[in-house]
Structure 1
């Protein structure tokens, strides 16, 4: 039988086919792909230049927060701050498209009678020590250099800001949107006090105090200036850097508490190990010959300390070292190192680890 024009060979009527949606046209799937871009400063700007759809997705504030949370355990070192400068000046360490202009992440005092210094960096936040001279007043700021947000948590009663005090900032565990600040100072010459601030509650904890054998020192590490029985080596007085430049708290290979100490040109890596009876002690993991690994020229005076610890990047488990060849970032797991730009100042450096979001 002859088919009529337009008749098909099937009794099932045909319908127009739905257009096939590719993976890059599905916003939900595309978001998951973009979320997994490397956390380098150039990643999101380059993605936004692909097309209007990508630009709208990566510039959305909600995506920026997700991107930061996703990479919170994989933060790159994008630069550092120098403790001894009179303001918070950013020094970039990355090159080419990943290099962030220093002015974008620097903080200058707004008044001539004000002075800024850095207490430390952690999890993309900077703890700023602010000194107002007229009238004389000390306070702190928690600053996010990427977003520009600033928070003033105040100073808890009981910490004497007329004496030296120090602090640290960190993201709250399990909640990247909140942070905590720890301040340690003096209530008198022979008693140290500490308090913790939570941005989630907006209050400082009750003071915790302990007696000390020496007055608290204005150092970059809370252990400097004392010789503790709880450390694997004796920690003596600090040097001209304002800290003890022969050791650093680190992360052990198993993820636990580690400790690095310099002995001449060697780095000794220790880890804290708990025995079957519950007693914890220090065990040496390895010894690294830094002069050979970094290819440092031989010095006729082998007793001269030409390698110093001047910073520690917690997320990358890398120490900043002052050496004869310049300042280097030395990764303790891979044993790889990178020479950093800038001067060979012996001042303490605070590595800034963060995700650059648009």
Structure 2
């Protein structure tokens, strides 16, 4: 069966479908050959049109990194069928530590911690690539206290990729950050390249007189330019890793700051959102000469009381994440209700509620991506399984 409409009109229709509900695009690809051609054969063109029409990529869901029954669960952004193939992850002890450029970075370990590693995973195709851990960098007596996190970035053409449809089979880099809670603090950062299949030597540690400058473990990463920034649980310290020069440096947060999350600033640089009181404050980092001696400049103050439903006012609230490359932050209200806030437009909407009074959100890791059906799925006429 073929459509009587020309392809460019079909594309104009399909690009207007809700981007946060990929099941509509899956079903559209099964309607007729011309619709399938627009969505599947001309996939790259369709994805570029989606970005031109919608702007920022849609939120397909998030990983709940809280402790308890909801931990490690992928939650779709809508109630319709999700394209994310959670069934591909069979390991019991695993956690998502980063999402970027269509990939998810998973850290896993055996029950006795005798074996651990990373998995670079494409949730839409189910493709996985397993990485061994970098060589041991700690004395044996501190290994049991070591925490591992990391970041994954596309490495195609040295930054020439538009990241609309980064394939899991394409080149990537993984940054591994190891820390522990003993004194003095140990910190080690190494990076892996899929092009060489090897981890490099640990980056030189920052020159810092106070070896307690890091407290707790890293809870979040953000990519800005050619650097990865890690925010630590103490909400006092940011660790910067320069991907090109393989160097580490540290930065302080604004004073009297807690309950913070890294975010992309309005100028595309390093930003910060926090709840030092009942309102959300946003900052951007200004370093005009690139010497590292910049400063934080406050950008906005958002009064949550004017945005929340009346019954949610005067409730406990926490910033628990952000969507990289956008002005979106996630706020936990009243221990277990997740709201999505656009700090530019000041639009706020309720998205998720913890199941069975599952407690507060510790941190959420959003998965954002423009979506087009895969060729295999369209040919076989199959819809993806519901996410677990």
TM-score, length of structure 1 as denominator length: 0.74
The CA deviation at 1:196 is 1.8
Name the residue aligned to 1:106. 86
Deviation at 1:285, TM superposition (A): 1.4
The change in CA–CA distance for 1:108 and 1:47 in structure 2 (over 3 A counts) is closer
Gaps of 5+ in 2: 221-230, 238-250, 374-388
Superposed CA RMSD: 3.4
**Once the two structures are superposed, what CA deviation does each residue of 1:283-328 show, in whole Å capped at 9, x if it has no partner?**
11121111222245487xx7xx711011211133311111139210
Q: Deviations over 1:107-137 (max 9, x none)?
A: 46536xx411121222222111111125721
Q: 1:296 to 1:253 in 2, by over 3 A?
A: farther
Query: Who is 1:346 aligned against?
Result: 361
Superposed, 1:42-191 pairs within 5 Å as 42-60=23-41, 63-64=42-43, 67-68=46-47, 74-83=56-65, 84=67, 88-95=72-79, 99-101=80-82, 104-107=84-87, 110=90, 114-133=92-111, 136-160=114-138, 162=144, 163-172=146-155, 173-175=159-161, 176=166, 177-186=170-179, 189-191=184-186
Question: 1:199 Cα deviation (Å)?
Answer: 2.4
Ranked by relative contact order (alpha carbons within 8 Å, sequence separation 6 or more), the top structure is 2
Larger Rg: 1
235 and 179 in structure 1: CA distance in 2 versus 1, 3 angstrom threshold: farther
Counterpart CA distance in 2 for 1:220 and 1:230 is 16
Give the count of matched residue pairs: 313
Whole-angstrom distance in 2 between the partners of 1:133 and 1:155? 16
8 Å contact from structure 1 (residues 256, 271) kept in 2: yes
Unpaired segments ≥5 residues, structure 1: 1-21, 237-245
2:252 counterpart SS class: coil
Could you state the TM-score of these two structures normalised by the residue count of structure 2? 0.69
1:224 pairs, out of 211, 227, 233, with 233
What is the rounded CA distance, in whole Å, between the counterparts of 2:95 and 2:352 in structure 1? 21
- Between the aligned partners of 1:123 and 1:34, the Cα distance in structure 2 is 26
* Greater Cα shift, 159-168 or 32-41: 32-41
Q: Does residue 319 of structure 2 align to residue 309 of structure 1?
A: yes
Contact 1:141–1:151, Cα closer than 8 Å, also in 2: yes
Determine the C-alpha separation between the residues in 1 that align with 2:333 and 2:232. 23
Q: In structure 2, how many angstroms separate the alpha carbons of the residues matched to 1:170 and 1:254?
A: 21
